[in-house]
Amino acid sequence: MKRWLRKDASAAVMFLVPSGVGFSVFYLIPFVMGVFYSFMDSTVGGHFVGFDNYRELLASGSFRKAASNTFYFSAVSVPLMLALSLGLAMLLNQSTYLRRWLRTAYVLPLVVPVASIVMIWQILFDWNGSLNAWLSHFGAARVDWMKTDSARIVVIVVYLWKNIGYNVILFLAGLQQIPKDYYETAQIEGAGRLRQFRSITLVYLTSTMFFVVIMSIINSFKVFRETYLIAGDYPHDSIYMMQHYMNNMFMSLDTQKLTAAATFMFGCILMIVMGLFMLERRHRQYME
């Protein structure tokens, strides 16, 4: 026993036990119970009903609307996030004026709670808000941002503002690991900026980009907080997300639809992540 306690592995296990217990109690066990309840007709004294809850879920118009809005948001916001964060990282990696201050500015949204600044966004995008006042000043028509399809634009802007700083930091770390000799050699051989970007920057940022894409997709599925604080329980149809649907099912105590929707969303995220892992593995084998 004393020999076992002196080993590094035993010390690591002892340090990991508290975190493992907390993770199991608050995450793993509730998740397993949720998956189990999604196949039952009741949480108390229920019977196994197979995929009946999932069939009822897919037949629900509100669920289909929430799922389509969520996937549309991810399909639009993630590529935008990737392009903007990479572009800003490449800009900040150069000898730009006020580079340190700009880096700090992009990191600030990570440490500012969304709830504390949501009022500013509400004032900005309200019918009588600042943005419409500026539009009126320049002769443009007012836009009811939160009660029309323009609400999607608002949510995408808030998502980009909140998460772009984290991705910029990751891309900056990856760019700084690329030896400058590669770019100098490419310039001597006559390679242009586009060729250098495609053959050097993107190649050496593959692992970083893979991680950024995964985190961006996961964060895009967690946009409920911002949407809820800005638009409330029942927002415009264009920004009615999966989390809105699950929150409404929780408020109505419809546990079967809630757990089925949560399990369905988890399965979709898992398939997307596994697909990205396969693409990354094939790309790594191709490069080798």
Question: Tens digit of pLDDT for each residue in 72-104?
Answer: 998 999 999 999 999 888 888 876 566 667 667
In a domain, 35, yes or no: no
In a domain, 22, yes or no: no
pLDDT of residue 220: 85
Place of tokens 């990205």: 276
In a domain, 11, yes or no: no
Range(s) of the domain holding residue 183: 60-287
Determine the distance from the C-alpha atom of residue 153 to the mean position of all C-alpha atoms in its chain, rounded to a whole number.
Answer: 16
Contacts of 175 (CB under 8 A, 6+ apart): 89, 90, 93, 201, 205
Q: What 3-state DSSP class applies to 223?
A: coil
pLDDT of residue 207: 83
Q: What rounded mean pLDDT belongs to the chain?
A: 83
Whole-prediction pTM: 0.81
The pLDDT tens digits for 15-56 are 888 888 998 998 889 999 989 988 888 877 778 888 888 999
In a domain, 95, yes or no: yes
CATH code of the domain containing 79: 1.10.3720.10
Cβ atoms of 174 and 251 closer than 8 Å: no
In a domain, 245, yes or no: yes
Q: Per the structure, how many domains does the chain have? A: 1
Q: Which residues of the chain have pLDDT under 70?
A: 1-9, 95-100, 102-103, 286-288
In a domain, 256, yes or no: yes
What is residue 193's DSSP assignment? H
Q: What are phi and psi of 258, to 5 degrees?
A: -60, -50
In a domain, 34, yes or no: no
Report how far residue 33's alpha carbon sits from residue 278's, in angstroms, rounded to the nearest whole number: 29
In a domain, 157, yes or no: yes
pLDDT of residue 81: 92
